[in-house]
Structure 1
Amino acid sequence: MARDRITLTGLRVHANHGVFDFEREQGQLFIIDVTAWLDLSPAALSDDLSQTVHYGELAEEVVAAVASEPVDLIETVAERVALVVLAHKPVDRVEVTVHKPEAPISVPFADVAVTIERTR
């Protein structure tokens, strides 16, 4: 398994996920962190973008996945993102954290997040 990584931190997406009607209607901020494990040596040795994952395009794909069809759970959002990342053949492992800093919680808090890890 590869030890090299590409990391995207703090992707910000306004989306309409949640179990409450007002979350679906008004939407809220979600912050996404992604770490993709892959062998970066072919790209490093050849200086060829086609030998790696284009992180700019990956960021756009992740944001589109999060902004798509609303779901109840951020666990589902995380799974959706993991599938997008693993669709890139060089990636053999991914860790996804979905933060929901505006979650409807009745006590003061800094963040709510779920983190999943998936392998090919």
Structure 2
Amino acid sequence: MDRIAIRGLRARGRHGVFDFERHEGQEFVVDVVLGVDTRPAARTDSLTDTVDYGELSSRLVDVIEGEPVNLIETLAQRLADVCLTDPRVVAVDVTVHKPEAPIQHRFDDVSVTISRRRG
């Protein structure tokens, strides 16, 4: 399985269980790794034969900036669902980072990673 990765995609969202998270929002950072067969694109050298990662990035940002959810687990699932709408994507790993999570201790990152495969 070949992989196409988008790492460090940033957008502001209003996800979280606390009112201030919903009101103020915060930056989320997303990594996606798509499992695809890149041989058709390699043969034709055509964007139409692969995943357009620019277009996919825009769709992912729409989800991050869109309807708020309580948990980053839910956000990760929504992002995975977007990736799997492309029939060329067989599997996807999604990591949602919440670097501004409301934790009362010093930390570098909070993240959730999920792996999903097509049916």
C-alpha separation in 1, matches of 2:57 and 2:32: 9
Displacement, 1:67? 1.0
Counterpart of 2:78, as a letter, is R
For residue 91 of structure 1, give the secondary structure of its aligned residue in structure 2. coil
Displacement, 1:66? 1.2
C-alpha separation in 2, matches of 1:107 and 1:88: 40
Aligned: 1:119 with 2:117: yes
Aligned: 1:41 with 2:15: no
For residue 43 of structure 1, give the secondary structure of its aligned residue in structure 2. helix
Residue 70 of structure 1 is matched in structure 2 by: 68
Question: Normalised by the size of structure 1, how large is the TM-score?
Answer: 0.97
Structure 2: runs of 5+ lacking an equivalent = none
C-alpha separation in 2, matches of 1:28 and 1:84: 22
Identity fraction in percent:
54
Counterpart of 2:102, as a letter, is P
Counterpart of 2:88, as a letter, is P
C-alpha separation in 2, matches of 1:31 and 1:82: 14
Residue 52 of structure 1 is matched in structure 2 by: 50
- Summarize the alignment of residues 1-120 of structure 1 with structure 2, pairs less than 5 Å apart: 3-120=1-118
C-alpha separation in 2, matches of 1:29 and 1:56: 20
Displacement, 1:31? 0.2
Counterpart of 1:34, as a letter, is V
Counterpart of 1:48, as a letter, is S
Structure 1: runs of 5+ lacking an equivalent = none
C-alpha separation in 1, matches of 2:71 and 2:36: 28
For residue 58 of structure 1, give the secondary structure of its aligned residue in structure 2. helix
C-alpha separation in 2, matches of 1:79 and 1:5: 19
Question: Normalised by the size of structure 2, how large is the TM-score?
Answer: 0.98
Please list the CA deviations of residues 84-107 of structure 1 after superposition, one character each: whole Å capped at 9, or x if unmatched: 000001000000000000000011
For residue 62 of structure 1, give the secondary structure of its aligned residue in structure 2. helix
Aligned length: 118
C-alpha separation in 2, matches of 1:48 and 1:100: 35
